[in-house]
Structure 1
Amino acid sequence: MFQLHFPEFGISVGLLQLGFLVLQSLYRCLVRLRNSTGILLFQKMQIQRTYKTMTNRESRDISSWLSKSASPSDVQLYAGGVPFTLNKELLAAKSSMLASLLKEKSQEGLLHFLRDIPANPETFELVARFCHGYELQISTENVAPLSCLAHYLGMTESRSRNNLLLKTLTHFKQKILPSWNETIKAFQSTENVLPQAMELGLVDACIESIITKAINNPRLLGDPIKKMFVDDHSEDEGDVHRQNARRLFVLDWKPEDLTTLSLQLYEPVIHEMSQRGVPSEYITASLCNYAKKWVFSSFTEGEKMSIYRRKSQKEILEAVERLLPHVQGLLPCTLLFEMLRFAIVLEASSDCRNGFEMRIGKQLDEAKAKDLLIPSLGYAREVQYDIDCVKRIVKHFYESFSAPRISASNIAKSIAVAELIEEFLTEVASDIDLKVETFITLAEMSVAASLGTHRSSDGLYKAIDIYLNKHRHLTESEREEVCQLLDCQKMSIEACEHAGNNERLPLRVVVQVLFVRQLQLRDTIMKEVQGFSDDKAQDDEEEEEVEHGCGEEKMRIQMEKMSKKVMELERKCSIMKREIEGGCRSNAGMEKKKISLWGEMKRKFGCISTMHNYNCQVKKKKVHPKSLV
């Protein structure tokens, strides 16, 4: 088996910018040349048009010659039911398969053997032109079919150095794979020769090229769904300037959309992207665009659809559900409900419908009441809306809580879902075919969703009132059964007043509402009395505070007087202290002065003096001991 795998090539931004500047300069030169030599340019265009006409005529002549000329050295082959008369020697020189068949088979056997050549007439004609030495035009659309046919016919390097397979694969590697758009177009052309393209390695090469480019630049798959709802004017002026700076050297180029691929080509690409780490939000965007193009846009309500088209749309929607990443919040809840409705209409598999229901249940708090209005289909439908589907979605919502303990986020979601179910119950209550058991089931769901949320029962009462108004044929016991979940103690004063005058309610419920109303009035009166008592007590406290305030004022005046007396005494004490300190300093100075004079006199008389000892020491004359005798 012959396999080829081609690496990805990149182009630097600097080369692109340089090429853009060169093209811009050439364009300016051509404009000047056109203005100066308009006549010559017109003549050149005439020559090109004449040459193109001659080439097309030659091409038609060659095709006619290939199919009609006959000689002993020619052989007739069929491709797609179209006969081709070709030269045996030229075919054998380029194709090892045809060379061996020409030796082994007779003319009739060869004709029967090659009747089902895996190629269309256009592709086989290009091969015939190549064998007869004419120039071959390889394009994005025919490179894959040509490669497959060349591989099938054995037009390899072992047969001829100038072989067709080498030419097509070189073109595929150098011209197709580096470009996103060209790769998608070439990949799309492999659909008719898919087994041969897979054997040759063209499919793997295209998938690898597409995935590598998507990893480097996920925006090739489209913008994320949530960004589509953002206002285009939300960008500030600085962002606009930065975008303009980035677009300075960007050409007006639009990437080819993956949604142009058929499902058998699109599905393996997206599956491989999920495995290779392409961001989930961009994969989701591509899947939504694919479903919109092939399912939503091509579906018309009430239009008769062929079996093939219906089957194709069902397979596409099932594949989209399988490929959607299991990440919460990538799609708006409204869009998921739309996909679920199409899955029900197209009778998709149960796995597909359950998948959409689980995704909706995880973010049911984002839904609206109109989203839950899913029509019930089938000839034997009993209700207008699919109540069972809503019950399953609500069940998935409560199963999706990540933590068993009650958290702030879970409480907020529960409140939102409780309000949603009440609104939905109000909408479906007007359905004349809605049975009592079904209504009670929905009411139980609403009550269960409101547990622990301290919400009133006004929404449930409104739904019950609408249901009883549309189903006046119910008996007293059935009406009591409908109202059994109504908690009158959680009804507002306005709702109680309305219920007290509601003739559609059972008598027992009316009495219960009136009793609750009496309790509410009693509580209101008690609150008023308590408020009056509190006001009186507050007034007494204010009077006491006033009296207490007068006593405090007298005390403050006495304290101020005492403070003044203390300050006066302190002032007098400080004066006396300064006077005492001044007298001590003057006496000490006089004494110091006297001591200094006395010391000076003692030094003059030859006395040794110190600071603490002023004794006079007289020098005694030394006497020899012998003189004492």
Structure 2
Amino acid sequence: FPLLSRSKTLENLIGDSSDDEKGIKLEDEKQSCVLKLHDLPGGPKTFLLVAKFCYGVKLEVNSTNVVPLRCASEYLQMTEEYGEGNLINHMETFLGEVFGSWIDTLKALDSCDEVMQHAEELHIVSRCVNSLALKACAYDKDLFGWPVSSTKNDPFATVIWNGIQSSSTNQDWWYEDVSKLRLPLYRRFILAVDSRSMDQEQIAGSLMFYAKKHLPLLGRQPSFPNSNLCSSFDSNSDQKTLLEEIVDLLPSQKRIVPTKLLLRLLRTSMILHCSPLCRGDLERRIGLELDQASIEDILIPNMGYSSETLYEIDCVQRMLDHFVVAHPWLTDSDRELVCRLMDCQKLSLEASTHAAQNERLPLRFIVQVLFFEQLRLRTSVSGCLYLSDNYNSQIHLSSSMMLPESGNVNLLTAGENDRRIVAVDDMRDRVSELEKECFTMKKEIDKLVKTKGISWNSLCKMFGIRLRLKSKTRDACASSNDPGGKRAASPARIKDGRKGKNQDQENGESGGRN
């Protein structure tokens, strides 16, 4: 049988019918052997082509079936020991011709999906990727003068033996072709061209082309995008993975990718809830070239569920921090001018902490952030104390109104008291934590003032916010402690008033004597 004589695997299976170690079942029915090749690469369609080759029937081999045939011939061990010019040798020769054409190589790489495991073991995927990367780099820089066999639609058809191009073509001619690859194969292609020192602008251009083609949200600019926009496309998780991979592959050089596109990527990453690492990388890239951004692009809708602002503020603050750090030659006046764009009262706790720890920000801005954060903490502490006092008064009131005649009422009131006691304890713990944070912030301000050699009084006068902050703090505390609007004079103030009145009387008497 020609099929058995050219395959070592089939010969061994027929010779030893009880051998099932390779996962191929052997059955004996009606005095005939039936081999079930469930693991054959390419399935029945490929096995039919193998059988035609063994029996000398003419078969058509092209760039779409050469990879499954090569994997099947390896699986069946159709080497030269079992016939001269066996299938492995024929497929390797044909693969060499396929690698000479850009379009045929793309088709061969695309056909690797159905036999990916076997193609990886035979290094066919790597050979296809390297062949494509070599052609893209060579065409870009004219490094090679050897002829390239191709079809009429192949861009290499215009390259003659000495490297002279008969017609001018754009350097982005390969963007559309490689954008059809799946993400894992496309990633390997980008890494391959990057290892061959391709121009970073071309790599970034290909990445942006791929992102625009596969991320529908990237090409739209609604003020508040619809959450169901991605329903007709791939799932959100797939788009999230794609965006994170694109950001990871972007070149690290400045001004390679336009700031407008980076801001669109950042907006899309927030919609898809990408990882903090991905968003942080985009914010850093945008911060390096923030001077190239426009107001319309920076206005990113806030996607948080508990957001208090219409647009994202914290990300703009972080981008400003990156901009100041990336431009150390800026003068103090320029830095203050940049930081004036941010309202310290609207910053979140995370953004305030990040700004306070940035040594390159102006001292004026850092102290303003710390002052407003301290004011916010004081207001929270006073509000918590007010709620705690109200809970205590309600507990005493409810305990005094308990009816001893009704046992059910006593039980319900006792349960309510227990819940209120737990709530008061939680409130006290929160107040204690806020006091600790306030104390820590005060130490940071003292340390900052000592480092810069500025006194507290001069610092407050410099900012002109001493009286305003004190009045705000006093009003906040008074409003929380006296919700009805009635406020009694403090003992110290009454005492000071009496002292002033007595002093006026003494001055009058002394004046009369004189």
Q: Quick check: 1:187–1:203 contact (8 Å CA) kept in 2?
A: yes
The correspondence of residues 196-275 of structure 1 with structure 2, limited to 5 A, is 196-218=118-140, 255=174, 257-275=177-195
Alignment partner, residue 110 of structure 2: 188
Alignment partner, residue 172 of structure 1: 95
Q: Which amino acid in 2 is paired with 1:389?
A: C
Q: Which amino acid in 2 is paired with 1:346?
A: L
Q: Quick check: 1:365–1:417 contact (8 Å CA) kept in 2?
A: no
Q: Quick check: 2:79–2:88 contact (8 Å CA) kept in 1?
A: yes
Are 1:371 and 2:283 an aligned pair? no
SS of structure 1 residue aligned to 2:231: coil
Are 1:125 and 2:48 an aligned pair? yes
Aligned partner of 1:337 among 255, 263, 266: 263
Are 1:142 and 2:65 an aligned pair? yes
Are 1:158 and 2:81 an aligned pair? yes
SS of structure 2 residue aligned to 1:257: helix
Question: Residues of 2 paired with 1:257 and 1:141: CA distance?
Answer: 16
| Aligned CA distance change for structure 1 residues 437 and 202 (closer, same or farther; 3 Å) | closer
Question: Residues of 1 paired with 2:173 and 2:330: CA distance?
Answer: 50
Cα offset, 1:335, TM superposition: 0.3
SS of structure 2 residue aligned to 1:348: coil
**1:343-396 CA-partner distances (Å, limit 9, x unpaired):** 111121111111111000000011111112111114333322121111111111
Question: Residues of 2 paired with 1:119 and 1:180: CA distance?
Answer: 24
| Aligned CA distance change for structure 1 residues 274 and 317 (closer, same or farther; 3 Å) | same
Aligned residues: 324
Q: Which amino acid in 1 is paired with 2:54?
A: C
**1:254-299 CA-partner distances (Å, limit 9, x unpaired):** 6562111111111122123222211111111111111111113798
| Aligned CA distance change for structure 1 residues 125 and 406 (closer, same or farther; 3 Å) | same
Aligned partner of 2:16 among 81, 87, 104: 104
SS of structure 1 residue aligned to 2:117: helix
**1:549-584 CA-partner distances (Å, limit 9, x unpaired):** xxxxxxxxxxxxxxxxxxxxxxxxxxxxxxxxxxxx
Q: Quick check: 2:324–2:360 contact (8 Å CA) kept in 1?
A: no
Q: Which amino acid in 1 is paired with 2:193?
A: M
Task: State the TM-score, normalizing by the size of structure 2.
Answer: 0.55
Question: Residues of 2 paired with 1:391 and 1:282: CA distance?
Answer: 31
**1:234-264 CA-partner distances (Å, limit 9, x unpaired):** xxxxxxxxxxxx8756799965621111111
The correspondence of residues 10-25 of structure 1 with structure 2, limited to 5 A, is none
Are 1:311 and 2:311 an aligned pair? no
Cα offset, 1:341, TM superposition: 1.1
Question: Residues of 2 paired with 1:373 and 1:270: CA distance?
Answer: 32
Are 1:286 and 2:286 an aligned pair? no
| Aligned CA distance change for structure 1 residues 325 and 450 (closer, same or farther; 3 Å) | closer
Are 1:351 and 2:297 an aligned pair? no
Question: Residues of 1 paired with 2:9 and 2:207: CA distance?
Answer: 43
Question: Residues of 2 paired with 1:352 and 1:202: CA distance?
Answer: 32
SS of structure 2 residue aligned to 1:108: strand
Q: Which amino acid in 2 is paired with 1:311?
A: S
Alignment partner, residue 458 of structure 1: none
Task: State the TM-score, normalizing by the size of structure 1.
Answer: 0.46
Cα offset, 1:210, TM superposition: 1.9
| Aligned CA distance change for structure 1 residues 104 and 168 (closer, same or farther; 3 Å) | same
Cα offset, 1:325, TM superposition: 0.8
Cα offset, 1:208, TM superposition: 2.1
- What root-mean-square deviation, in Å, do the aligned CA atoms of Structure 1 and Structure 2 show? 4.0
Question: Residues of 2 paired with 1:394 and 1:328: CA distance?
Answer: 16
Question: Residues of 1 paired with 2:165 and 2:189: CA distance?
Answer: 30
| Aligned CA distance change for structure 1 residues 305 and 132 (closer, same or farther; 3 Å) | same
| Aligned CA distance change for structure 1 residues 249 and 345 (closer, same or farther; 3 Å) | closer
Are 1:394 and 2:320 an aligned pair? yes
Q: Which amino acid in 1 is paired with 2:212?
A: K
Cα offset, 1:204, TM superposition: 2.2
Q: Mind listing any 5+ residue stretches in structure 2 that lack a counterpart?
A: 19-25, 143-163, 221-225, 364-459, 465-514
| Aligned CA distance change for structure 1 residues 113 and 120 (closer, same or farther; 3 Å) | closer
Q: Which amino acid in 2 is paired with 1:313?
A: Q
Alignment partner, residue 481 of structure 2: none
Q: Which amino acid in 1 is paired with 2:108?
A: A
Alignment partner, residue 230 of structure 1: none
Question: Residues of 2 paired with 1:254 and 1:356: CA distance?
Answer: 27
Question: Residues of 2 paired with 1:282 and 1:450: CA distance?
Answer: 35
| Aligned CA distance change for structure 1 residues 108 and 417 (closer, same or farther; 3 Å) | farther
**1:535-559 CA-partner distances (Å, limit 9, x unpaired):** xxxxxxxxxxxxxxxxxxxxxxxxx
Percent identity at matched positions?
A: 32
Are 1:325 and 2:237 an aligned pair? no
Cα offset, 1:416, TM superposition: 8.8
Q: Quick check: 1:365–1:416 contact (8 Å CA) kept in 2?
A: no
Cα offset, 1:213, TM superposition: 1.9
**1:189-235 CA-partner distances (Å, limit 9, x unpaired):** 21222221122121222222122222222389xxxxxxxxxxxxxxx
Question: Residues of 2 paired with 1:136 and 1:277: CA distance?
Answer: 41
Question: Residues of 2 paired with 1:206 and 1:259: CA distance?
Answer: 15
Q: Mind listing any 5+ residue stretches in structure 1 that lack a counterpart?
A: 1-88, 221-245, 426-434, 453-483, 489-629
Alignment partner, residue 5 of structure 2: 93
